[in-house]
Amino acid sequence: MPHRRDGAAAGPAVSLVPAPGSNVMTTGRDEPRRPVAARHTAAAQAEPVWTGRQMAGWSASTWLYFRDGSDEAPRRIGVSSSLGGSQGGVRLAYGFGPTGRLRAYARATMAFERPGQREGAFGLAFAPIADMPVDVAIEQRVAAGRDGRTALAAMASGGVSEVGLPAGFRLDVYGQAGIVGARRRDGFADGAVVIDRGLGRGDASLRLGVLAAGAVQPGAARVDVGPRLTLRLPEAGQGSRIALDWRQRIAGDARPASGLALTLAADF
């Protein structure tokens, strides 16, 4: 399964992948977060846009990711692996002390078209530099289905969300990389960039933009680009949103192929 970024303070604002081990969506991966916190509407700011992220206390995130073609089955020996298929998950975290730089978390994920791909995880995440949107994490993954994997994982992740750009555009970006397994070590990485603009005046809830997302893990790699339509739902929870993408696979041969993707995500 793709990896979801759990080093982040909450779920992925980019929602680009569904990322289990990752946040996110991812492609993890999407998934996944939010990677950063503070929101700024102006392009120029007196301080970095990420210094306001809140990590202390309880937080939770949940996501549902539906990808057209996720049920594609291999038709011959040697076909490409799957990366970025439909899945859902939930994550609960607690940040210790007034800063929350050290956080404990637990997560559960499942691939919808392949229910055997179920995993749970629990771990610790740490922000090594207080004012930078970068986290390192170590976790124990536990297989909850026949296709899951029980193994240790270590990762680093980072990102920013809703950074103001000229002409009313905003930027979301995240990336993560890590290793799963102590004896059999498998590396993974994923990331995404979204640039969008509100459809309407002021801080519009409906936004239209473009997305570029990539992910790689043993036996599978892909890069997708395409348009994204996002509806933000602040009344339903911090970072709550619905995103509809067309994801055109431009590199790699991992399934599913190009198609529509729908993300529903919320951070609390």
Tens digit of each residue's pLDDT (9 = 90 or more) over 126-136: 999 888 889 99
Domain contains 82? yes
The answer to whether 164 and 40 are in contact (CB under 8 A) is yes
Distance CA 249, CA 160 (A): 24
Mean of per-residue pLDDT scores for the chain: 78
**pLDDT over 90 at 73, yes or no:** no
**pLDDT over 50 at 18, yes or no:** no
Share of the chain above pLDDT 90, in %: 49
Domain contains 50? no
Structure tokens at 134: 């970068």
pLDDT at residue 43 in the model:
36
pLDDT band at 72 (very low <50, low <70, confident <90, very high): low
Give the Cβ contact number of residue 8 at 10 Å.
39
Number of domains in the chain: 1
The answer to whether 59 and 90 are in contact (CB under 8 A) is no
Quick one: which of 203, 221, 211, 200 has its CA closest to 243? 211
pLDDT at residue 188 in the model:
94
Element (H, E) at 62: strand 57-67
pLDDT at residue 115 in the model:
76
Poorest-pLDDT segment among 186-190, 194-198, 206-210, 255-259: 255-259
Domain contains 92? yes
Distance CA 154, CA 6 (A): 10
Q: What is the pLDDT of residues 207-251, one digit of tens each?
A: 999 999 999 999 899 999 999 999 988 777 777 899 999 999 999
pLDDT at residue 53 in the model:
62
Residue appearing with tokens 């949107």 = 133
Top-ranked range on mean pLDDT: pick from 8-17, 81-90, 112-121: 112-121
Domain contains 67? yes
Domain contains 30? no
Poorest-pLDDT segment among 38-47, 217-226, 257-266: 38-47
CATH, residue 131: 2.40.160.40
pLDDT at residue 78 in the model:
33
Domain contains 186? yes
pLDDT at residue 235 in the model:
78
pLDDT band at 202 (very low <50, low <70, confident <90, very high): low
pTM of the predicted structure, to 2 decimals: 0.76
Domain contains 42? no
Q: What is the pLDDT of residues 92-126, one digit of tens each?
A: 999 999 989 999 999 999 988 777 888 999 999 99
Range of the domain at 253: 57-267
